[in-house]
Amino acid sequence: MKPLLMIDIDGPLNPYAALARRPVPEGYSLHRMRPTGWKEGTPLPVLLSADHGAELLALTARYELVWATTWKDEANEWVAPHLGLPPLPYVDWPSMHAVTADGTYWKTRHVVDYAGGRPFAWVDDEISDLDTAWVAAHHPGRALLRRIDPWVGLSRADFDALADWAA
């Protein structure tokens, strides 16, 4: 059974922090979206790179891709088509944005629960050393937690590290 690749959108695929810069970063296109919860004002600006879709599809030889994003199933409607990805399974968070007593990221326990002991890699812009330590202590399988800079998004080095880890 292949390891899971848990993919956050905002940060890794949508380097939202780069929106503060002009122009749009090379290789990205600006999309205006209105997912559930984004009802007021202008549509949500989302930066996406079609190259990321090709890179993720290449990783399907080694991984089962899973959305690990607050977009949940809407990632398949709003993001996947722009990246050329098929519909993917997603983590259906039982609660979102909760504060944890130990300072770990609110997604961490849910990602581990979803993995169910399977090996997994997880890309997210809010992963910290606390999360890596928590996963090492509570997940019986192999795990790679890779923090992605929200100013940059997924890079060649990230895709290489994911491929090497799964090999």
How do residues 136-154 score in pLDDT, each as one tens digit?
999 999 999 999 999 999 9
- Tokens of residue 25, six digits: 């970063």
The answer to whether the CB of 32 falls within 8 A of the CB of 20 is no
Query: What is the domain extent for residue 64?
Result: 4-14+49-166
The count of C-alpha atoms lying within 13 angstroms of the C-alpha of 139, restricted to the half-sphere facing its C-beta, is: 25
In a domain, 34, yes or no: no
* Domains in the chain, number: 1
pLDDT digits (tens, 9 = 90+) for 54-74: 999 999 999 999 999 999 999
User: Is 19 domain-assigned?
Assistant: no
**133 inside domain:** yes
The CATH number for 135's domain is 3.40.50
Asked if residue 142 is part of any domain, the answer here is: yes
- Cα–Cα distance for residue pair 122/3, rounded to 1 Å: 10
Domain assignment present for 97: yes
pLDDT for 105: 87
Q: In the numeric block, which tokens belong to residue 12?
A: 């890794």
Q: What b/e sequence results for 36-52 when a residue is b if at least 16 CB atoms lie within 10 Å of its CB, and e otherwise?
A: eeeeeeeebebbbbeeb
Asked if residue 40 is part of any domain, the answer here is no
Give the model's pLDDT for residue 23.
85
Within the chain, which residues score under 70 in pLDDT? 96-97, 99
Instruction: Note whether residue 33 is domain-resident.
Output: no
Determine the pLDDT at residue 99: 67
**Is 39 a domain residue?**
no
